[in-house]
Amino acid sequence: MSTNADRSGPTTSIQINSGFDWVFAEKAETSMSRFERFGLQLFDVANCFVSFGNTHGKLNQGERSITGMEAIFSDSLPLSEEIVVISDLREHPELCKHPMVAGIPFIRFFASHPVYGQGEKLVACIRLIDYQVRTLDDELRQSFSDMAALIERELALSAMHQMQTELLKQNRHLKREAMIDPLLGTWNKTAIVRSLNIEMDRCDKAGKSLALLLISLDQLPTLRDSHGLMIADQMLVKIVSRIRSCIRPFDALGRFSNDELLVVLPGASHLVATAVGERIRLAVMMHPDMVEDEKIALTISAGSVASDMFPGTEPEALISFAEKALLSARSAGNNCVVQATPAQPDLII
């Protein structure tokens, strides 16, 4: 769910690997070029194109090169659903007048086989070009058809891969949406608790401490009663923004309950956690907000706990200690940060 890149909010991308991505990593042009090389060897012709109707536009050669002129000739003939084999273009009643048949480069042989895509729609043609009179016997005609079938299968596999990738992206998006609080844009409770478990396991293996901050906006109940839910939600969104400005990019922030925010601080000691809590408290307190032309001073209370003070403690127990520390901060009159300690497990003043 989270990486070292950014765990403060739900902006982390999830990597998708179907196991076959390497097969489809190359561009379609590269894949079709493989078939064209195969066609050159199989039919022993001057050139072979898998034409989608714009062969010349994809070439990086000058227009007057031989390959360029062959591509122009291929593009001048429309894609056809018929299998076409013209042994001698000079004998063809119409194509004999084509400038590239009657003149340079004097093309003599042409063959075309349709290639179908999804829904049996004509999408391309295999084009064979040569400068001498040729025929295709039954075996070569079968090979021509086999080559078209292989290209169709390649196109179908690519389409299936694109569809699978899109479905995986949609699934990823839905999973991410299910982990995000729709109002605050932070992780929701399920996601932030999961992040805590992941980070605590990582810190245990690395021999590092982990700290939590459980934060509430002191004025939230009053704002709801006096100004309504919408104003209270707006203030909560602003508090989230200020919290994010006070924590590291790889710290995780989530909505733990309706009125409480949980910050996971990987690698942080109890001293660091208290310092971060004070930084957040000051950032909120020093920026009062205007509500309906009334300036309102905002403050937060926070409960802090760190695994270096409670070694071997399970994540659920750490959250419980943070909840008790937050309750003690509220009992102390709000606008303060209370650190949980083993000597004061309940911390209620």
Q: CATH number for the domain including 302? A: 3.30.70.270
Confidence of residue 30 (pLDDT cuts 50, 70, 90): confident
Whether 185 contacts 240, CB under 8 Å: yes
Strands 109-116 and 289-291: unpaired
**End-of-domain residue from the set 119, 148, 164:** 164
Average pLDDT for residues 41-67, to the nearest whole number? Answer: 80
* 277 within a domain of the structure (yes/no): yes
Q: Are residues 152 and 68 in the same domain?
A: yes
Report the C-alpha gap between 141 and 313 in whole angstroms: 75
Q: Are residues 57 and 129 in the same domain?
A: yes
Two tokens at 41?
Answer: 């060897």
* 304 within a domain of the structure (yes/no): yes
**End-of-domain residue from the set 115, 149, 164:** 164
pLDDT of residue 195: 96
Q: Are residues 202 and 136 in the same domain?
A: no
DSSP reduced 3-state for 86:
strand
**CA torsion, ordered 105, 106, 111, 116, to nearest 10 deg:** 30
Q: Are residues 193 and 332 in the same domain?
A: yes
* 345 within a domain of the structure (yes/no): no
Query: Residue 225: what residue type?
Result: D
Residue 146 to residues 11, 42, 142, 287, Cα–Cα distance (Å): 48, 11, 6, 73
Q: Are residues 52 and 119 in the same domain?
A: yes
Residue 329, Cβ density class (10 Å: 0-12 exposed, 13-18 middle, ≥19 buried) = buried
Q: Are residues 146 and 201 in the same domain?
A: no
CATH number at residue 31: 3.30.450.40
pLDDT of residue 25: 47
* 344 within a domain of the structure (yes/no): no
Of residues 175, 166, 163, the one with CA closest to residue 14 = 175
Looking at every residue in the chain, the average pLDDT score rounds to 88
Whether 308 contacts 209, CB under 8 Å: yes
Whether 71 contacts 86, CB under 8 Å: no
* 11 within a domain of the structure (yes/no): no
* 5 within a domain of the structure (yes/no): no
pLDDT in tens, 172-206: 888 878 899 999 999 999 999 999 999 999 999 99
Confidence of residue 18 (pLDDT cuts 50, 70, 90): very low
Report the C-alpha gap between 204 and 242 in whole angstroms: 29
pLDDT of residue 8: 54
Q: Are residues 221 and 155 in the same domain?
A: no
Q: Are residues 211 and 325 in the same domain?
A: yes
Whether 24 contacts 161, CB under 8 Å: yes
Query: Into how many domains does the chain fold?
Result: 2
Q: Are residues 199 and 92 in the same domain?
A: no
Q: Are residues 157 and 199 in the same domain?
A: no
Confidence of residue 129 (pLDDT cuts 50, 70, 90): very high
Determine which helix (DSSP H) or strand (DSSP E) holds 176, and give its type and residue range: helix 138-179
Confidence of residue 13 (pLDDT cuts 50, 70, 90): very low
Which residues constitute the domain of residue 75? 21-164
* 59 within a domain of the structure (yes/no): yes
**Cα angle at 93 between 87 and 98, to 5 degrees?**
80
DSSP reduced 3-state for 112:
strand
Q: Are residues 334 and 280 in the same domain?
A: yes
Strand partners, 212: 264, 305
pLDDT of residue 12: 37
Contacts of 103 (CB under 8 A, 6+ apart): none
Report the C-alpha gap between 216 and 27 in whole angstroms: 52
* 303 within a domain of the structure (yes/no): yes
Report the C-alpha gap between 213 and 325 in whole angstroms: 9
Q: Are residues 113 and 207 in the same domain?
A: no
Confidence of residue 162 (pLDDT cuts 50, 70, 90): confident
Report the C-alpha gap between 243 and 240 in whole angstroms: 5
Residue 54 to residues 22, 57, 72, 153, Cα–Cα distance (Å): 27, 5, 9, 21
